[in-house]
Structure 1
């Protein structure tokens, strides 16, 4: 369907989604997570994202598919049964994942007493040049398990335990043909629809704020220079330390681009220099909201 986990699972997924969102493209992605041995957390969770923005969530405790963005609620004006249909799909998938976790336990000769996860990610991408991409893959306990190659309509087993699944799924040619069609056509149509509804949020441009501070470095007689860039949207940005106006410093430490609570982003980049260093250092920022570099 144009189809989350609480706690640590959702955090992991969000970080993963951010790492998969290249500049100059839009994507629709769904993550299904089935768990075993995690008391206090739902056994089954679905989260859906357009780009890096969460649009929906379902979990096995509430048994409801709910909107995570105000503009997603507008879909019911055009499609009154949208959320009910998604709820039914999610509830029908839930027992399949429960069985899937048990099958994986057997394949890997594991007992049901430990903590185990089965995850599925599928979706599509629409690039600025008009080309598209589609993907469908599964992971078990955080490791690749099996993935769909839509061009050949075959399944690629990442581990020996997935070979049985590969042969079983490749025998169902009608399903694989339908999956290819969904990823290349229907998924893209849903993505375009969501982008239309969420245009104001998804395509907004917010200028970054830049701050620089220094502190003692990790080595004796060194200084750490940190450039903090925050409050920007969209996510794609280039931040670099420049020495003497022309030398880009490639040894900067960063934790990457991180989300802020208001839907914008932040990034920090730190370099260490000698306390007697006489060079001039500047933090340069390039972002689509800026007419010229900061």
Structure 2
């Protein structure tokens, strides 16, 4: 993808964000041996610092970790997670063989705890340039890494020389990898960023209801103002009685996240001996005017 093409896309949805910094799409694969209570294979994917997906060998499924990723699939690509699951299952099989091969490279025939890790992805900088990377580590130490410019593999350890020569000989695969890191990976990053921006800028109107129950003291009433399903998080919920803001005798657990990515808050007034003349006032960015629910 050329710089001109990237900038044309950025004008549409990302320019305001990207011009202030760079963004990245990264995937981390971890294969283990000798840890019976730990998944033998795990994949996690990130857009910047936000985890977008996870796969592990115990569940055998790739799943979203952000509500906007779930929404993207529902609207844009219903087969996305099934494809990700199949890809991840295939990588799990390859990693199981790779970790055994790497143990042999180090003359480790059996026993012990060992890990093989892979990190790959791409970066989109604020000036429109890109970077791509793929590297492997074994037991926490650098093993082999891809040099995108020369389309060859480099290694700081003798045990990886055989692997380096084998992978260098597959020029077609290395050329495809370079193309993925420079173009396809960046295209996916832009797609995710655009959709995340669209989702994070949406405004969802809250639902509000009031209900009552016995208070903590005899003959007292507790009124609860339940505000749910709103986005973004910032909101102001206030009890009004006889036209005056009631700050005393109120309790809340604070603003809590829902499973669907929305938020909720309960504001309870306690110690009131009269249910009359109470109003729950809600101020949120999705509302043109404050929402007042009168008991």
- Residue 98, structure 1, aligned to residue 86, structure 2: no
Partner of 2:42: 45
Distance in 2 of aligned mates of 1:149 and 1:51: 22
Tell me which residue corresponds to 2:123: 125
Partners of 1:135 and 1:149 lie apart in 2 by: 8
1:26 and 1:51 in contact (8 A); partners too: yes
Measure the CA separation in 2 of the matches of 1:112 and 1:78: 46
Q: Which has the larger radius of gyration?
A: 2
Number of the residue aligned with 1:75: 72
Per-residue deviation, 1:111: 3.8
Q: What's the counterpart of residue 140 of structure 1?
A: 138
From 36, 57, 61, the counterpart of 2:58: 61
For structure 1, the residue ranges without an aligned partner over 5 or more in a row are 1-22, 204-261, 263-294
Q: Give CA deviations for 1:84-106 in whole Å, capped at 9, x if unaligned.
A: 00000000110110111111111
SS in 2 for 1:198: helix
> 2: distance between equivalents of 1:201 and 1:153?
37
Match of 1:209 in 2: none
8 Å contact from structure 1 (residues 122, 135) kept in 2: yes
Number of aligned pairs? 184
State which of 26, 30, 40 in structure 2 corresponds to 1:29.
26
In 1, Cα distance between the equivalents of 2:40 and 2:199?
32
Matches within 5 A, 1:1-294: 24-76=21-73, 77-199=75-197
Bigger shift: residues 48-57 or 74-83:
74-83
What is the distance in 2 between the residues matched to 1:27 and 1:188? 9
Q: For the aligned residues, what is the CA RMSD? A: 1.9
CA distance in 2, matches of 1:183, 1:55: 19
The CA deviation at 1:109 is 1.3
| TM-score, normalised via structure 2 length | 0.60
**Residue aligned with 2:162, SS:** helix
Matches of 2:113 and 2:87, distance apart in 1: 26
Kindly indicate whether the alpha-carbon contact (under 8 Å) linking 1:34 and 1:45 is maintained by their aligned counterparts in 2. Answer: yes
Runs of at least 4 residues off by over 2 Å: 200-203
User: Residues of 2 paired with 1:48 and 1:104: CA distance?
Assistant: 24
